[in-house]
């Protein structure tokens, strides 16, 4: 599809929160077994007074909830009361610097107090607009800094800000933790390692124990990955986890820490100004044993790409299979996600996307045991993949991927699987959001073995990340439904709806329409009743 009407611009419009849930109009039939809440996070406020936010990851965090009860659906949303939001509302201006927007000092203060406010240190944003995840019995909205925000998943009220630095040695953490079936949470964040060089810590938060103490108090670092550059950590958005291994993919998109620490105090930069690309490193993959917390002394290397989302990682006969949504090259994809780009007319959106790194879903295969006698040979012996791993004379293992999905300027992104049963294990299906020149305009199901795809698409309809919900009595991997919030600004009085698809063939089961616009959402989860 092409989008000359530009309806996708409605994804980036400010909306108001709701004072109470509204009833959605259902067409089709909601499965009787589907009971619980779809929770989603994204930006909902794109300017404060006359001051605009400039980047996709700057708008203030809005929490959304679709509730399912006996075939009925309600929709509710509230802004997360982060420091960034509360202070912006109080002072009627942008107070805390966001990802791509610099917060200027208060113009009402005199020149001396403004000058000294520069030297108070970095005020890190807590704008929790990226994801929601559980820790023990609690739920947290998060971004990628050290601050996460505890919320009430029933009322969407904000409970309190939590600083991860008080519990464990990380400067921040990803918005994509792995959560095991017993409730154990694993995440990764960068930190200062030995000799003040940078490193990446894997943190583990145990499940809720009989003593009912907050699991955060029992957080621990299980393993530390080294950094390829002593002072420039790579941007990390997600990582891979199997029953026995942790996989960290280190990309050439780097954070210049000296620039980061000086920019606030000296020349008023934002987070985006602190990113740079290492044009020669390619990609390094690191593996650690999960239970022993021990690094494998194996040097996996491949050509440069950006990485935001892991699809799944699993073990098979002495190999790790790592499936990723990649963007080819070392230039940072986020350079193309400024709101001016995303709100442009269709021809300009396409022109920009053609210059950007190109998307490809890939499978990499990492051999876990190496024999020097095999130098120069492909070490991958699995019959079902064309991915290769070649041992070089310098003891690096050069990886070439198998492409599992590729289309010109068409991305398979925001991947989801039947995580509860197949996360970290051999699997067949993944669901993704189709980006057409960065515009989300379809939902895809991909068979990673045969590369067969199924697509849901409608003219002038812009969906969000598909969330898979398994049937309670499912016997097959894809027995369940897929949920996605869709905006359809072109037609009729109901500009948005929750879409329910049959996860087997991506056919529509039902939709629940609401009379309010819903802006872009990034990630979320289904909380069973």
Q: Cβ distance 22 to 516 under 8 Å?
A: yes
9 CB neighbour count, 10 Å cutoff: 18
Q: Cβ distance 72 to 26 under 8 Å?
A: yes
What count of residues does the chain have?
A: 529
Distance CA 430, CA 361 (A): 11
Give the residue ranges of the annotated binding site.
Answer: 176, 237, 309, 523
Distance CA 404, CA 447 (A): 9
Q: Cβ distance 340 to 53 under 8 Å?
A: no
Distance of CA 440 to the CA centre of its chain: 15
Distances (CA, A) of 495 to 3, 8, 45, 487: 17, 12, 18, 6
128 CB neighbour count, 10 Å cutoff: 30
Give the residue ranges of the annotated binding site for Fe cation.
Answer: 176, 237, 309, 523
Q: Cβ distance 283 to 290 under 8 Å?
A: no
Q: Cβ distance 445 to 435 under 8 Å?
A: no
Distance CA 87, CA 11 (A): 25
Residues 6+ apart with CB under 8 A from 199: 190, 191, 192, 193, 224, 225, 226, 227
20 CB neighbour count, 10 Å cutoff: 6
Nearest alpha carbon to residue 133 among 239, 41, 36: 41
Residue 62: strand pairing partners: 42, 79
**Three-state secondary structure readout of 205-230:** ECCCCCCCCCHHHHCEEEEEEECCCC
Q: Cβ distance 253 to 89 under 8 Å?
A: no
Tokens of 265: 């105090």
């Amino acid at each position: 599809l092409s989008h000359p009407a530009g309806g996708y611009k409605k994804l980036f419009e400010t909306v108001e929160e709701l004072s109470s849930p509204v009833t959605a109009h259902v067409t089709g039939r909601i499965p009787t077994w589907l009971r619980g809440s779809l929770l989603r996070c994204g930006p909902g406020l794109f300017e404060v007074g006359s001051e605009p936010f400039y980047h996709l990851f700057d708008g203030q965090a809005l929490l959304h909830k679709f509730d399912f009860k006996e075939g009925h659906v309600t929709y509710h949303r509230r802004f997360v009361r982060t420091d960034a939001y509360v202070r912006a509302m109080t002072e009627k201006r942008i107070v805390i610097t966001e990802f791509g927007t610099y917060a200027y000092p208060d113009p009402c203060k005199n020149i001396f107090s403004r000058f000294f406010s520069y030297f108070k240190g970095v005020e890190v944003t807590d704008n929790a607009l990226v994801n929601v995840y559980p820790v023990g019995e609690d739920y947290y909205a998060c971004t990628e800094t050290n601050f996460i925000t505890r919320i009430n998943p029933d009322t969407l009220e904000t409970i309190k800000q939590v600083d991860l630095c008080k519990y464990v040695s990380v400067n921040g953490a990803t918005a994509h933790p792995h959560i095991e079936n017993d409730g154990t949470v694993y995440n990764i964040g960068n930190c200062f390692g030995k000799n003040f060089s940078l490193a990446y810590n894997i943190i583990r938060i145990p499940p809720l124990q009989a003593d009912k103490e907050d699991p955060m108090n029992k957080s621990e670092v299980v393993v530390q990955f080294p950094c390829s550059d002593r002072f420039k950590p790579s941007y990390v958005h997600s990582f891979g986890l199997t029953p026995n291994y942790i996989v960290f993919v280190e990309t050439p998109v780097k954070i210049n820490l000296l620039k980061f620490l000086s920019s606030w105090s000296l020349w008023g930069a934002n987070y985006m100004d602190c990113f740079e690309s290492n044009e020669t490193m390619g990609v390094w993959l690191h593996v650690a044993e999960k239970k022993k917390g021990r690094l494998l002394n194996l040097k996996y290397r491949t050509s440069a790409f950006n990485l935001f989302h892991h699809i799944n990682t699993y073990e098979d006969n002495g190999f790790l299979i790592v499936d990723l949504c990649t963007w080819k090259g070392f230039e940072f994809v986020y350079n193309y996600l400024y709101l001016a780009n995303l709100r442009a007319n269709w021809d300009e959106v396409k022109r920009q996307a053609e210059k950007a790194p190109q998307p490809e879903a890939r499978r990499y295969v990492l051999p876990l045991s190496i024999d020097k006698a095999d130098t120069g040979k492909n070490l991958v012996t699995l019959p079902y993949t064309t991915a290769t791993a070649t041992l070089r004379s310098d003891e690096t293992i050069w990886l070439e991927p198998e492409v599992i999905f590729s289309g010109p300027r068409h991305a398979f992104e925001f991947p989801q699987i039947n995580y509860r049963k197949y996360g970290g294990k051999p699997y067949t299906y993944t669901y993704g959001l189709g980006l057409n020149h960065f515009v989300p305009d379809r939902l895809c199901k991909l068979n990673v073995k045969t590369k067969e795809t199924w697509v849901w698409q409608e003219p002038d309809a812009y969906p969000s990340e598909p969330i898979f919900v398994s049937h309670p009595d499912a016997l097959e991997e894809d027995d369940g439904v897929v949920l996605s919030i869709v905006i359809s600004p072109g037609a009729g009085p109901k500009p948005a709806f929750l879409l329910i698809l049959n996860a087997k063939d991506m056919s529509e089961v039902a939709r629940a329409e609401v009379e309010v616009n819903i802006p872009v959402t990034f990630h979320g989860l289904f909380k069973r009743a």
